[in-house]
Amino acid sequence: MLTREENELLTRVGRGTPCGELLRRYWHPVAAAGELTEQQPIRPVKILGEELVVYCDKQGKYGLVGEHCPHRLASLAYGRVDDEGIRCPYHGWKYDSTGKCLEQPAEPAGSTFKDRIKHVAYPVETLGGLIFAYLGPEPKPLLPRWDVLVWENGKRWIVKESIIDCNWLQPMENSVDPAHLFWLHGDTAHLAPRVKKYAEQHEFILFEFGIKKRRTSLPVGTGDAPLLDEHPLLFPTTLRHVAPYEDGKGHRHNLQIRVPVDETHTQVFRVNFVPSDVEKSSAEAQVPFRYSQLKKGPRDYNMRMVSAQDSMAWETQGVVTDRTQERLGAGDEGIILFRKILKQQIEIVQNGLDPMGMIRDPEKNQIIELNVINERIGLYRPQSLRQDQRAIAS
């Protein structure tokens, strides 16, 4: 249970709020690169409560600027792009990706007014088919090169889910809540036959980038060996996961990135990667993407989809869960730990220091292998890691 003040501390995302300032220290995806096309090179996006537009100009350069034009606040979402930058649809003021005003067509020749205009603009970088933005102070950290974003031997694709009508912390608490797996998802696909055969133990292991959620499935009455799965929560907004692919013939690795849109909405991007000997993907190339609709209307969830089952649980907890009313038990250890880390990291930023997981050395960012395992679906620990994991566990 939290106090009302603690609940607000951990859920607010706006600029100037303690948690909003922490979240601004990390890169967040604002769109799939494939969403910006020649026909539609501009999209409005809201992130951390800020109304912005992401665009691709005619030279293929991406930009992210404030949605409302500094002249008289019309929306740049209806603007146009040319060789450099984005132009407002109302009176044609034009901005580059640093927020510099390049033209003001109605001002007299030689006017220096434009030099005194600085529009909101944030740096963007593309990786693994997503456009990531950084809304925090300089010097910005490196954009983490998570394995799923940069692996090449296999097939990569992106799913952008319909916006979830709840605060970002609910999906993230779910990422350290292994007890929900069989109850919420137990009737679906590969999980079903396992429901009655296993008891579970849960452990939460802090590591450089967040919390590893380890589940040991203990076969009941068969004498079979215990099976591990271990899925890291990458602080603060991402779950690294693996699931079976095509009836268990392969493994679908994925990142589930939960972007805080504002206090009451969350946008989930999923980046999937299936290893393959015949297919190749480049981290830089445009990656296929599709949209996924989690519900047909209010409270009308597609309960056959695992992701819709989760979003049902998160939304029905309340738009911002009232944590003054909850009753946490021993099975909620991961949630308690995540809240503790979140609070600590807020304080670290308030003290002017780098929070957890900041990468500033390019040598350490070639590729970040997360060594996800799930022995229940046949993805075993590499031999080299077995010793380490025993050491961590003991």
Enumerate binding residues for Fe ion (CB under 5 A).
310
Is the CB of 88 or the CB of 143 nearer to ligand FES? 88
- Residue 235 CA to chain centroid, in angstroms? 10
Instruction: Give the relative orientation of helices 4-11 and 333-350 as an angle to the nearest 10 degrees.
Output: 70
* Contact partner at residue 207 from ligand FES, Fe ion, none, CB < 5 to 8 Å by partner kind: none
What is the residue whose two structure tokens read 């709840």? 166
Write down the least CB distance from residue 164 to Fe ion, Å. Answer: 13
Q: What, of Fe ion, ligand FES, none, does residue 88 touch, CB below 5 to 8 Å by kind?
A: ligand FES
Both tokens of 22, joined, read 């922490």
- Residues counted in the chain: 394
| Residue 207 touches ligand FES, criterion: CB under 6 A | no
Cis ω on the peptide bond leading into residue 232 (within 30° of 0)? Answer: no
Residue (193 or 362) nearer to Fe ion, CB: 193
Residue 310, contacted partner among Fe ion, ligand FES, none, CB below 5-8 A by kind: Fe ion
Residues that contact ligand FES, how many (by CB under 6 A): 9
Residue whose structure tokens are 């930009």: 63
CA distance 298 to 16: 32
The site map against ligand FES for 62-101 (x = CB under 6 A) is: -------x-xx-x-------------x-xxxx--------
* Per-residue tokens: 199: 């008891």
Residue 73: CB minimum distance to ligand FES, A = 6
The SS3 of residue 37 is: coil
Cα 296 off chain centre by:
23
71 binds, among ligand FES, Fe ion, none (CB under 5 to 8 A by kind): ligand FES
For residue 113, the minimal CB distance to ligand FES (Å) is 12
Name the nearest CA neighbour of 252 among 229, 231, 279, 275. 275
Applying CB under 6 A, the residues found at the interface with ligand FES are: 69, 71-72, 74, 88, 90-93
